[in-house]
Amino acid sequence: MEYMSCPEAAEKWGISERRVQILCKQNRIPGVSKIGYMWLIPKAAEKPTDGRRKGNKK
């Protein structure tokens, strides 16, 4: 399985690196794992939907 880092996911999804880290910590992204201080996110992972938005539009 191929992985990407938080900065790569942030650029891909158009959100901040810190927000990606928070989503990882909250287990909102399936398949993430933490090695030391670095989060590994599967390249095939989709951006989690925003629970605050009605209808979860992109």
> What distance in Å separates the CA atoms of residue 11 and residue 16, rounded to the nearest whole number?
8
Locus of tokens 């690196």: 17
- For the whole prediction, is pTM greater than 0.85? no
Which tens digits make up the pLDDT trace of 16-58? 999 999 999 999 999 999 999 999 999 999 999 887 877 656 5
> What distance in Å separates the CA atoms of residue 8 and residue 37, rounded to the nearest whole number?
16
Q: Amino acid identity of 38?
A: M
Token pair recorded at residue 33: 């794992």
Identify which of 16, 13, 21 has the alpha carbon closest to the alpha carbon of residue 38. Answer: 21
Q: 17-25 and 6-13 helices cross at what angle (nearest 10)? A: 110
Domain ranges for the chain, please list them. Answer: 3-42
